[in-house]
Structure 1
């Protein structure tokens, strides 16, 4: 089967048996995000350092950031066209229609964190379980694009936050304009009967300041990147409106330039950098929450402290989001139910929980 050297590379890295690449290689690596973002200043920088050191300098990089070579949602074109060799990250959710199943990590869950979802997504990529026509998730979603891909560090949980009126009862959602950052977030907000307003996170500060939106779905750890801490006053915690995941990707042409030792070193570095990045995301989450409370009077309310009616309303909205997403993609011919079922099983094995009703719907 045409796959990464997944288990072999990880095992070799741990036992110190990985041979050094036999020839020097320099790769053009690009991020469409600024240095301040944890996927550029964190994951990409760490990946380059790890691989540079593990190859003893045989593998080097020419990095470009902040859209210098390719913009958000154009990473796949750049890889396929050869203008970049490695995308760190390839922002799958912004490639409309190209990675239909990769949004699965944005489905609502309970008790999940960044390391857990990072491990789960990589396990999904590694899985030998067939999702359609004899193909695994990786073979269906990744291989046809002419690239190799790994999980990066998942964001911390996306949360429901408001700058004005807090969300305390189901009726509070009615018609409330709330920012959605992805298609699944829009599905979730539709289920709550609020009014989704789709916009990039870079526009949220102005929208909140002007009252164009009353709140948003966003990872708390992302607030500093957009200076949102002074504006957001109330956040519901312990329920994830999904986690944003993307890929570290290399073109097949660039991959073929590496010998077997170089490919194994690349694989091991990708996995190590993702695990490291996940810890950074959750570390920032704790810092931002503490600063929000102490400096700006922010309030964080666990979903379990809300009324029983509100807890059920949020759980039902989350469960319906799973169903709507699956049925929409199944209608387009994609194996969404098989993918969601596999991901759900992995998340549960990692200690996460599903909204009530999802397991029954998936037949788990």
Structure 2
């Protein structure tokens, strides 16, 4: 067979192999509305990019705002086959299922969405054994019949109030403030406030009615729930952590992809997460300026009354300690995870509240 004939035959075989690979359509769903930055600025960007990069071999049927799965039910939907992809899987709302994932919510200083997303990606990729030879990914993801990648972390979580301006630590005593996770509950308890657990979607009504007087949330997140209309005073300068969540696909759906498509998926997920972080950080600045223009006040920690500043700083350190202790008491590697996360945060230029380094060095 001459060279031209061989080339023609190879081309035909390649076309047969290509056509033999059926197009894969995946059900991708979010429990959040499209206006949320993890949906319109991540889920849609990711799905669009995958469809383009695979030239339509991988496509998505998209569902929004809880049409197929609710907040905290994404893992069940993936494991039960109701959906193929959760975007995002809100790990902190899955009580007990992701015991280490709250680590991104530990208080930090000088961090933003981009730096913390890079730290979160490094945490997911880390080969450091945390317990019995298991890495963070092994411990949190591998045994759950899913594959996962970080979506962007939020911008810094701040303490915000509706019509209230705390002047001293005493003003926080017993104040009902919204907590979105177990870690926020720890932080608010250390402040002396009364934590009220509820999803962000319920915050507007609760703030409007005075059921709660404030919340812990990133400023960029306000737009998703119209909270810029009710939040009037915000303390900045210390991040009450950064909420991290996952883009997750079921093992069953993952096996439907070719090796090349899986590689494209991983690369795309990593790139879109960083782009998502950039968009979140920009939105954080936009919402802050909009709030200021409408009379909102933002007070840096350094400008607060000494006793209020000291209380917030103490609460930040105590939150690290209590999270580690509670996680360890539940049988999980809290100290090892906290140490790894602290190192990754600092690698990305962030800092820890004074006293955290000494606590981690002491081993608890």
> 2-side partners of 1:344 and 1:209: how far apart?
37
Q: 1:87-102 maps to which residues of 2 (within 5 A)? A: 87-102=86-101
Match of 1:105 in 2: 104
Does 2:350 align with 1:358?
no
Match of 1:214 in 2: 213
> 2-side partners of 1:359 and 1:215: how far apart?
30
Q: Which runs of 4+ in 1 moved over 6 A?
A: none
> 2-side partners of 1:361 and 1:183: how far apart?
21
State the Cα distance separating 1:226 from its structure 2 match: 1.6
Q: Which stretch of structure 1 is more off in the superposition, 61-70 or 326-335?
A: 61-70
Q: 1:137-176 maps to which residues of 2 (within 5 A)? A: 137-176=136-175
Which of 304, 307, 316 is equivalent to 1:306?
Answer: 304
> Helix, strand or coil: the match of 1:355?
coil
> Helix, strand or coil: the match of 1:236?
strand
Match of 2:340 in 1: 342
Match of 1:332 in 2: 330
- If the length of structure 2 is used for normalisation, what is the TM-score? 0.91
Match of 1:182 in 2: 181
> 1-side partners of 2:165 and 2:52: how far apart?
49
Match of 1:248 in 2: 247
State the Cα distance separating 1:313 from its structure 2 match: 1.8
State the Cα distance separating 1:323 from its structure 2 match: 0.6
State the Cα distance separating 1:310 from its structure 2 match: 2.9
> 2-side partners of 1:201 and 1:247: how far apart?
18
Rg (Cα) greater in structure: 2
* Cα distance change on mapping 1:22 and 1:166 into 2, 3 Å: farther
State the Cα distance separating 1:338 from its structure 2 match: 0.6
Give CA deviations for 1:281-322 in whole Å, capped at 9, x if unaligned: 11111111111111x200111112223433322111011011
Structure 1 portions without partners, runs of 5+: 1-19
> Helix, strand or coil: the match of 1:239?
coil
Residues paired across the two proteins, number: 344
State the Cα distance separating 1:21 from its structure 2 match: 11
Match of 2:283 in 1: 284
Give CA deviations for 1:113-159 in whole Å, capped at 9, x if unaligned: 11111111110000000000011010111101011100001111111
Match of 1:12 in 2: none
Q: C-alpha root-mean-square deviation of aligned residues, in Å?
A: 1.5
> Helix, strand or coil: the match of 2:177?
strand
Structure 2 portions without partners, runs of 5+: 1-17
State the Cα distance separating 1:252 from its structure 2 match: 1.2
Does 2:265 align with 1:258?
no
> Helix, strand or coil: the match of 1:130?
coil
> 1-side partners of 2:154 and 2:147: how far apart?
21
> 1-side partners of 2:19 and 2:300: how far apart?
50
Match of 2:85 in 1: 86
